[in-house]
Amino acid sequence: MRSPQRSHHDVVVIGSRCAGAATAMLLARAGHDVAVVDRSRFPSDMLSTHGIARGGVVQLARWGLLEDVLASGAPAVRQVMFRRGDNQTTLRVKERAGVDLLVAPRRHVLDALLVDAAQAAGAQVRTGVTATGLRRDGANRVVGLDARTADGQPIELTARYVVGADGLRSRTAGWVGARVLDSFSADTGTFYMYVADAAWPAYEFHVARDAYAGVFPTHGGAACVWLCRPAAALGSLRAAGSDRAAALLAELDTVSPTLAARVRSGRITSVVRGAAGLPNYVRQPVGPGWALVGDAGYHRDPITGHGITDAFRDAELLATAIDGSLRDPADEHTAMAAYADRREAALRETFDLTRALASFPPPDTFVELQIQLSEALEREADLLASFRTPAATAVRAA
């Protein structure tokens, strides 16, 4: 048996993608001792259409990271196009909440940038490390975790808080027994591919009966071209195997022939990826010594395209709560309850709109719901812009 490596920290975060890395970065900038473990190594990609709503762009700007994202080659998108049948409207992204652009960086770029920012702030990030269980004290409070490296070296990390940011299939949520507070079923599927050598100047949204398609311009002059439909309508695509690109194109022909024609004029540079029947839930976000953030605590169908902004928003809400609790341990209950309450208030409207949109109502109703969603996201951006900008460098708390 190999002797475990032991260390103690203020906070240990399980998972270092958007939610975990952002939480770690903000807490480290506030002066706390933060360790992060992730079984993945970076850069690495993940299933995601990765369009960032205005609120997420606002946070990247406030955190001093937006220029880094743009410098990576992700284009600044300043137009949004909506199309239904032969009717097309293109709008300019007006300045609001301090930003006048949208951005859709590839996840292998964005996630690595966030990990680098967390490390630059002073967080200890250990990739290739798998969490294997939680450590508890005599009162059943979570006080750390057990983990192991890829070569089997055991690790013991103790901490005041353990944060589960380990995604959709969060083991942390299972270990702590986090209750599901709300959920619904959505029998939908979302599939996407990357297309280069065509003009992609805008975020695009195409609406048809029982279908919703779009475009997010990204690195290298390419775009993520995606399609959402009821899962029952995607049988031929899901069964197409190596012919999925042709099957996705055939689906786009029925939704938006103009978009399908532009895809054909370009060059498909990836396989088709996607998923169907993804869960929709809101989990209990906090308990004694633990918290959940990102998809570990809240997930909804990608039809509303809001996952990265959810992760950034909740990371900031949680970091604020943990910072307050670490500075005044007597305030723990109030601080962590505030995270739960503020997260619920922030997610509720989008979660309910997702429930309505994922049922694919008639196109007129679908468009009305999309307008409500757009208005909700603008209000959210204003709220996020009002948050106190965190310090750019770590200053160790006394």
Domain ranges of the chain: 5-50+106-184+279-359, 58-105+187-277+361-391
Give pLDDT, residue 1: 67
| Topology (CATH level 3) of domain 5-50+106-184+279-359 | FAD/NAD(P)-binding domain (3.50.50)
CA angle 208, 214, 216 (to 5 degrees): 170
Amino acid identity, position 208 = A
Is CATH 3.40.50.10420 the right assignment for the domain spanning 58-105+187-277+361-391? no
Is the pLDDT at 194 greater than 60, yes or no? yes
Please tell me the distance from the alpha carbon of residue 329 to that of residue 348, in angstroms, as a whole number.
29
Amino acid identity, position 26 = L
Give pLDDT, residue 38: 96
Average of per-residue pLDDT across 299-325 = 95
Helix 257-265 with 244-255: angle, nearest 10 deg: 140
Please tell me the distance from the alpha carbon of residue 243 to that of residue 34, in angstroms, as a whole number.
46
pLDDT tens string 322-361: 999 999 998 999 999 999 999 999 999 999 999 999 999 9
Compute the residue count for the chain: 398
- Phi, psi values for residue 73, rounded to 5°: 105, 0
Strands (E) in 218-358, as ranges, are 223-230, 267-268, 273-276, 280-283, 286-287, 290-292, 298-299
Is the pLDDT at 393 greater than 90, yes or no? no
Average of per-residue pLDDT across 198-226 = 97
pLDDT tens string 36-59: 999 998 888 888 999 999 999 999
Three-class secondary structure of residue 394 per DSSP: coil
Amino acid identity, position 367 = V
pTM above 0.75, yes or no: yes
Strands (E) in 244-340, as ranges, are 267-268, 273-276, 280-283, 286-287, 290-292, 298-299
Average of per-residue pLDDT across 131-160 = 97
Q: Please, which pLDDT band fits residue 390 given cuts at 50, 70 and 90?
A: low
Q: Please, which pLDDT band fits residue 397 given cuts at 50, 70 and 90?
A: very low
Average of per-residue pLDDT across 272-297 = 97
- Contact between 139 and 111 under an 8 Å Cβ cutoff? The reply is no
Average of per-residue pLDDT across 154-172 = 97
- Contact between 322 and 30 under an 8 Å Cβ cutoff? The reply is no
More confident residue, 7 or 47: 7
Six-digit token string for 227:
């399609």
The rounded mean pLDDT for the chain is 95
- Contact between 71 and 116 under an 8 Å Cβ cutoff? The reply is no
Average of per-residue pLDDT across 150-162 = 96
A 10 A CB-CB count for 362 gives 10
Is the pLDDT at 17 greater than 80, yes or no? yes
β-bridge pairing 290-292 and 286-287 = antiparallel
CA angle 112, 118, 122 (to 5 degrees): 140
Please, what sign has the CA dihedral across residues 361, 249, 73, 91?
negative
Q: How many CA atoms lie within 13 A of 253 on its CB side?
A: 7
